[in-house]
Homo-oligomer: A and B are copies of this chain.
Amino acid sequence: MSLETARTEYLNVDDVRFAFRRLGPTAGTPLILLQHFTGTMDAWDPAVADGLAATRPVIAFNNLGIGTSTGRTPDTVEQMAADAGTFIRGLGLSKVDLVGFSLGGMLAQVLAMQHPSLIRKIVIAGAAPRGGEEHLLAVVEDAFAQGAPDVRLPLFFTPSEKSQRAGQAFVARATARTQDRDPDSGDDVSVPQAKAIIGWCAVKDEGDTTLRAIAQPALIVHGSDDTMFPSINAYNMFKAMKNAQFVLYPDSGHGAVFQYPETFVAHCHTFLDA
């Protein structure tokens, strides 16, 4: 079962419904994917999701208000993390790993801090710490202004020929699914999510209390030239955490993990299997 073909399942918890898809084997610690700003399940790179699912159960889902999940998109990282926790526990899972990309990497930090026994290990890709430097609106606005065939080409990749070529391959992979695709996100998603990201970065976390409270092993992965969340954020996260590995990829932007999917998958397996 691959990201391109997995059927959409639904989980009802109280009055809300989460859409999700399962990939990979059933045995092993499940790996939950936490998605980026405005991203649905279909915005994941199949090369990443399927690569991770080669040897472990992987679950992609839409948080509340996204795609065919019901509910409203909240405007804080904390509430999004709480909703993700509701989803994970709702599936009956008692121990999971997380891969969070961008906004999803912020959720991963909160979940790891708040749920030391539920969350085993976290991968934080292309994210910022609480109080970190962000250029979300400027970078998104600039990317849309470029009129690229897919806004993710300028948003996730550097201007170099090599990075743009990798970007085109990513876009082809991420649009391969034709059946049962999630509807794209609108303003009802982007507005509160932007508020959540900006709010997360707006207030300095003196003494890095969030990062220092995370006892689980973490893998921080970042692009050399991420314009949305500069790589120095990620370096500072590494320095503040007790047990983090840090990986940077060359000539890469916010979507570094989609530029080097095989390498990223290998790094995740090495980290998660250790």
Contact = CB atoms under 8 A, between A and B. Distances in A.
Interface of A: 224, 235, 238-239, 241-251, 262-263, 266-267, 270-271, 274
Contacts of A238: 224, 248, 250
Work out how many copies of this chain go into the complex: 2
B274 A270 contact: no
26 contacts: A224-B238, A224-B239, A235-B235, A238-B248, A238-B250, A241-B250, A242-B250, A243-B250, A243-B251, A244-B250, A245-B248, A245-B249, A245-B250, A245-B263, A246-B246, A246-B247, A246-B248, A247-B247, A247-B248, A262-B274, A263-B270, A263-B271, A263-B274, A266-B270, A267-B267, A270-B270
A71 to B, nearest CB: 37
Given A243-B251, A246-B247, 7 more contacts: A224-B239, A238-B250, A243-B250, A245-B247, A246-B246, A246-B248, A270-B270
A241 B243 CA distance: 27
